[in-house]
Structure 1
Amino acid sequence: MISKEDIIKRFVSYVTVDTESDPTSDTTPSTAKQWDLANALVDELKAIGMEDVTIDKHAYIMATLPSNVDHDVPVIGFISHFDTTPDFTGANVKPQIIEDYDGKDIVLNAEQNIVLSPDYFEDLLLYKGQTLITTDGTTLLGADDKAGITEIVSAMEYLIANPQIKHGKIRVGFTPDEEIGRGAHKFDVAKFGADWAYTMDGSQIGELEYENFNAAGAVVKVKGKIVHPGYAKGKMVNSMYIATEFINSLPRLETPEHTEGYQGFFHLYSIKGEVDETVLEYIIRDHDKGHFEARKEVMQKLTDELNSQYEREVITIEIKDQYYNMKEKVEPVMHIVDIAEEAMKQLDIKPLIKAIRGGTDGSQLSYMGLPCPNIFAGGHNFHGRYEYVPVESMIKATEVICKIAELTALKNSK
């Protein structure tokens, strides 16, 4: 059995190390403090008996658990990231452990009246009677994705301690800067040497995902003319008004707060404006490649129309693709999803196969030649003060890793 106490101890040791990444940095990792946990993980992997433990100059960690069978088995991998999002502070995390959760409000911080309530976060009720790890209300928790690292290290330790569980060669990888979209940028797929892998970076227990958004970013620059407002008639052009026209011309209900499931969106996440110039920053998301291309075309056509209306180039737009739906790369090797699904079923976990409304290292890795579905790590309410993770979900995720390894060896035993 995988020990609850060991899982808690390991997880707490990770989340109390600040590893927040920084999108404004041009280094890898983007923050020096990520090295603190990275170096500790290298020491821990060696201590539990992993082989070929390496860390490169960019803090990418890889390690091997050798095969313990005498027949050929595909090499599989498990991957997680050790940075936390810059959306909310990850410094001085003080985890709270809630034993035998009673289904009621959890006071995270009495002084600041911060409450984690099932009235707002209904998923809490799924975990009544379980052990929850929460924040103290002033930081995020870091279950995204230190829960995944906890599960991978714990699974490797368990397999080493239980050689009667048969498995092929397993590779593990831990990456920096996933939260700022760079987790796979310098990942050496050839060095990793796996036939396929799984990111342990999902949320609710049972999640199994092999679809994600196609993604692009758009920067819209609107040029105005600034003159003295007392003498502005016929001369001033207020870029903020033109920017407002652009914003209001896009479909109002095709934004994140109005969409779900497979519905795509335009998301305006930054405005910086003065009379002379306004800059709008958007992300564009859609699971369907055709709809994705159409969304980009809508923004380009709107730019052209407004320029035509003003009879000069008042707007410029730059659209850059960011990542693509990994479904295209995973569907030809669907057996890797089937193995994960079977592993969950054998552990009495109901598989929740759905599309990710976001991105994942697995998307980029799939296009780099490493098909890489995503499996639940157990956390909820990522990127903020209300983040929590049920310990039982982390234990189950650890068991799923072990079972996938076992099933992969078994299916290739003839």
Structure 2
Amino acid sequence: MFQDYTFTAAERFMQYVQFDTQSDPLSNTHPTTEKQKDLSRLLVEELKAIGIEDAHMDQWGYVYATIPANTEKQVPVICFCSHVDTAPDASGKGVKPLLHKSYQGEDIVLPDDKSIVLSKNDFAYLNKLIGHDIITASGTTLLGSDDKAGVAEIMDAANFLINHPEIKHGTIKILFTPDEEVGKGTAKVDIPKLGAQFGYTLDGGEAGDLEDETFSADGVQVIIKGVITHPGYAKDKMVNALKIASDVLASLPRAELSPETTEGKQGFIHPIRLDGIAEQCTIDFIIRDFVTAGLKTKEDFLLSVVEMVMENYPTASFEFKVTEQYRNMKEVLDQHPQVVEYAREAIQRSGFTVRMESIRGGTDGSRLSFMGLPCPNLFTGMQAIHSKKEFISVQDMNKAVETIVHLAQIWEERS
């Protein structure tokens, strides 16, 4: 059914990545950066141009839209979701997308920084992309495929469904969120307004991947309060909070329990920010484990490390604050096996052997699942995300579009 269809995902994507939509982890506004709304406004315009009349952006920067059902069957309402923001890890300003046609296995040298090279030796997935058209940035920024690839693929699938009414489907909701990269992607989403029963995020990697499991996640903030005096008269009086924080970090295990020493189903304790002055400073940690109960074990261990260090500074004090971030979505998805099973079938119809993956991270789907919208994660094709070496295959993007359409069909067929 796609033989005569001209896919638009790559064209849309190369336009979308030129919008700077980087989110800000230090901001307390919603969205954390107003510039995210610039892309969201464009998406609303494009959705309306496709023929989706109710498309709109709310005050928080969320885009909602509905593809009406074209079947008489009673089909559960499903939602496809992606996020518009890009990660703070590398600049997203002034992205120059480059299309490398018919890749033949050669090294790809990015022109604006020739020291940045994409090689099959570093990225084995490139071996699967011989003959594909590959999109990269130019070497000075990330590309933004996380998750503008997902956005473009949903937009293209919407365009296909609206223009092919012979493809029967139930009501389909579209949701584009801000701030996913800073853990606030669902902070202001209106689930009753969305009106969906099941969902799918388009925020995965390799073509054929299906992810039904994430880390469970907490944040820990350790606030260390020293004793401050004039440094010229500080002997036997001053207790420097920054030095205490350094001792805490130096006391963490080096061979285990860190992102750089773990893989697979192993969790970790990860310091992500140190901020403050000699009088008081704060260390922010993220705690990750696939088993939710494992979070408490790691938090207790971290607390014991802090307490051990503080014994050397009896006049100083500290606070230890734990904040829940998200939970392993598999706990919810296992109660609704058809959501994953239909996705598996859709990926197979697109020509792939399904590869089940556990995400060493989280997606909007993690939080949405626990908000009443069971929501596994589908592939987009994106690779080397959050880096200047980010790349994506046009053909993989088109296959993601096909998977969305097949999924809409399967829900109608099974109803």
Shared fold (TM-score greater than 0.5)? Answer: yes
Once residues 74 and 213 of structure 1 are traced to their aligned partners in structure 2, the CA distance between those partners, rounded to angstroms, is 28
Most deviating of 311-320 and 124-133: 311-320
Are the aligned partners of 1:51 and 1:66 in contact in 2 as well (CA < 8 Å)? no
Are the aligned partners of 1:42 and 1:55 in contact in 2 as well (CA < 8 Å)? yes
1:219: Cα distance to partner? 1.8
Once residues 309 and 91 of structure 1 are traced to their aligned partners in structure 2, the CA distance between those partners, rounded to angstroms, is 46
- Map 1:113-128 → 2, pairs under 5 A: 113-128=115-130
Report the equivalent of 2:352: 349
Name the amino acid aligned to 1:333. Answer: H
1:146: Cα distance to partner? 0.9
Report the equivalent of 2:210: 208
Identity of matched residues, %: 44
Once residues 230 and 80 of structure 1 are traced to their aligned partners in structure 2, the CA distance between those partners, rounded to angstroms, is 55
SS in 2 for 1:129: coil
1:227: Cα distance to partner? 5.0
Are the aligned partners of 2:112 and 2:139 in contact in 1 as well (CA < 8 Å)? no
Q: Could you say if the C-alpha distance between residues 59 and 276 of structure 1 is closer, same or farther in structure 2, counting changes exceeding 3 Å? A: closer
Q: Give the one of 78, 99, 107 matched to 2:109.
A: 107
Most deviating of 30-39 and 394-403: 30-39
Report the equivalent of 1:132: 134
Are the aligned partners of 1:4 and 1:395 in contact in 2 as well (CA < 8 Å)? no
- Map 1:11-410 → 2, pairs under 5 A: 11-109=13-111, 112-226=114-228, 233-252=235-254, 253-272=256-275, 274-308=277-311, 310-410=313-413
1:111: Cα distance to partner? 5.2
SS in 1 for 2:85: coil
C-alpha distance after superposition, 1:107-138 (max 9, x if no partner): 10265432222222222222122110000001
Name the amino acid aligned to 1:383. Answer: H
1:212: Cα distance to partner? 0.9
Paired residue total: 412
Are the aligned partners of 2:101 and 2:133 in contact in 1 as well (CA < 8 Å)? yes
1:237: Cα distance to partner? 3.0
Q: Could you say if the C-alpha distance between residues 66 and 227 of structure 1 is closer, same or farther in structure 2, counting changes exceeding 3 Å? A: closer
Most deviating of 318-327 and 297-306: 297-306
SS in 1 for 2:293: helix
1:308: Cα distance to partner? 4.5
Once residues 125 and 273 of structure 1 are traced to their aligned partners in structure 2, the CA distance between those partners, rounded to angstroms, is 47
1:313: Cα distance to partner? 4.8
C-alpha distance after superposition, 1:13-43 (max 9, x if no partner): 1111221222233322222222221111111
Are the aligned partners of 2:7 and 2:398 in contact in 1 as well (CA < 8 Å)? no
TM-score, reference length from structure 1 = 0.94
1:396: Cα distance to partner? 0.5
Once residues 70 and 110 of structure 1 are traced to their aligned partners in structure 2, the CA distance between those partners, rounded to angstroms, is 54
SS in 2 for 1:271: strand
SS in 1 for 2:214: coil
SS in 2 for 1:332: coil
Q: Could you say if the C-alpha distance between residues 110 and 59 of structure 1 is closer, same or farther in structure 2, counting changes exceeding 3 Å? A: closer
Are the aligned partners of 2:113 and 2:138 in contact in 1 as well (CA < 8 Å)? no
Once residues 207 and 113 of structure 2 are traced to their aligned partners in structure 1, the CA distance between those partners, rounded to angstroms, is 32
Are the aligned partners of 2:113 and 2:139 in contact in 1 as well (CA < 8 Å)? no
Once residues 20 and 138 of structure 2 are traced to their aligned partners in structure 1, the CA distance between those partners, rounded to angstroms, is 15
C-alpha distance after superposition, 1:220-262 (max 9, x if no partner): 2333335566765543434344333322333322100111111
